[in-house]
Amino acid sequence: MSAKRKGEKPAKSGAKTKKVTGKVKSATKAARTLLGRVIMGRHANGMRRVAITGMGTINALGRDVRSTFEAMREGRCGIGPLDFRDVDRLAVKIGGQVRDWEPETYFNRQQIVLYDKFTQFTLLAAREAVEQSGLVFEGELGLHSGVVLGTAAGGMNTWDENYRTVYEEGKNRVHPFVVPKLMNNAACSHLSMEYGLLGPSFTVATACASSNHAMGMAFNMVRSGAATVMLTGGSEAMLCFGGVKAWEGLRVMSKDACRPFSATRNGMVQGEGAGIFVFEDWEHAVARGADILAEVVGFSMSADAQDIVMPSPQGAERTITNAMLDAHMRPEEVGYINAHGTGTAANDKTECAAVAHAFGHHADRLMISSTKSMHGHLIGGTGAVELLACIMALRDGVIAPTIGYEEPDPECALDVVPNEAREAKVDAVLSNAFAFGGLNAVIALRKV
């Protein structure tokens, strides 16, 4: 997709500007009914509108957006046997792993020695996103652009390898770059350096909601005018012996498959990878004739303040409702929700109850799927990869399925798009993330 678009760009730039202007008009019209008034790229309250102008990814389904969309359309499963050192000592031996990963294909020796795998994934996904956006961060734009990323564990592979060196192998010396490699903000900092982004930049860690929190922050920064462009999303590379062993301890992992919402579900399956987006001030994007992929229109976050692992339906419901309020979106407008849908007994029934309460009768009319069934749970990076499914729904009219679905669960009695992708026109979508620790983050997007 990106290659095709890239090839088309020079020849069609005039036509593209025209097309985008047309889209702006229709989006403005839609927003007028909700807000009373929208002037160009601003809301009546002075807030700016936020365009997504680039997207990139690497995950178990593919090393770019095109191949990931293809896999989601086909309902292909990226989960398989894990392949890394000491995997035989694990009880859980499956995951959504990026297969045959050879960093040398993408990075030179000096870079590899400084980049943990979660940073490598981030930079690769960002290359795709920034290239698609066509942005060059020079002068003023660099000063007003930044990065906010989500990750739960940062450089987990670096921790793991070096703990092995000092504990298991008994060595007393580690490589000098261990700290700059493993720190949670490493990927964020390398992105800022790679593109010369001099504005607000930081990393958020809220377990499974990290990416959604990051993208929500990026949205608010562009919306408020604090930044013109934000690179955002998240990354996770926890598939190593220590990473999986830690999760095993909690006894919420499936040994065979991730089957969200199915009565036969028996736990979550870890994944790895990254998703990176370009969030851009609407007026800035329109002025340069950018292809706008979707509009970010709302965000909400909250805390359950109840339990360190058990989710609360009230917390989830409150966050969903507030995201729609923030977006000036009526519940009936929402056609698709990308669920948190981890495939654990607790999450899926709690999430379905929250959706049922938040949407009332409309809950039976909307579609809700969990793409974790295909790419696994990318923990801190998961919301970013899942936002891709939301953009695919809005742009291509294809709803990614919940695969592995075997048997209805009365406690998850919603249209979960079982096993096969569906064609459907949707104008507004939500993406849910409900993290361990009871931290919730929901994002709302609209079709352009």
Partner 1 sequence: MTEVRDRIIQIIAEQAMLDPAQLKPEMSIQEIGIDSLGLVESIFAIEEEFDISVPFNANEPEKSDFDISSLGSIIAAVEKLVSEKA
Answer yes or no whether residue 175 interacts with partner 1 by CB under 8 A. Answer: yes
**CB nearer to partner 1: pick between 34 and 174:** 174
With residue 119 as reference, give the H or E element that holds it: helix 117-133
Dist CA 329 CA 428 (whole Å): 8
**CB nearer to partner 1: pick between 192 and 206:** 192
**Three-class SS of residue 250?**
coil
Tokens matching residue 283: 């007026």
Binding to partner 1 in span 84-113, by CB under 8 A? 113
User: What angle do helix axes 117-133 and 2-35 make, rounded to 10 degrees?
Assistant: 80
Minimal distance, residue 109 CB to partner 1, in Å: 9
**CB nearer to partner 1: pick between 34 and 178:** 178
Which one of residues 84, 101, 107, 177 is an interface residue with partner 1 (CB under 8 A)? 177
Binding to partner 1 in span 357-376, by CB under 8 A? none
**Three-class SS of residue 356?**
helix
Tokens matching residue 353: 């109850």
208 classed as catalytic: yes
Dist CA 93 CA 106 (whole Å): 28
Tokens matching residue 303: 């805390």
Nearest to 165 by CA among 92, 242, 102, 239: 242
Tokens matching residue 14: 């005039």
Answer yes or no whether residue 173 interacts with partner 1 by CB under 8 A. Answer: yes
**CB nearer to partner 1: pick between 173 and 251:** 173
375 classed as catalytic: no
Which range in 172-180, 229-237, 398-406, 435-443 contacts partner 1 by CB under 8 A?
172-180
Minimal distance, residue 175 CB to partner 1, in Å: 6
Answer yes or no whether residue 176 interacts with partner 1 by CB under 8 A. Answer: yes
**CB nearer to partner 1: pick between 175 and 255:** 175
* Spatial contact of 59 and 76, defined as CB atoms under 8 Å apart: no
Minimal distance, residue 172 CB to partner 1, in Å: 9
43 classed as catalytic: no
Binding to partner 1 in span 112-131, by CB under 8 A? 113
Which range in 16-24, 169-177, 247-255, 438-446 contacts partner 1 by CB under 8 A?
169-177
Contact partners, residue 224, CB within 8 Å, separation at least 6: 47, 48
HSE (side-chain half, CA atoms, 13 Å) at 73: 14
Query: Which residues in this chain contact partner 1 in the complex, by CB under 8 A?
Result: 113, 173, 175-177
Which residues are catalytically annotated? 208, 340, 377
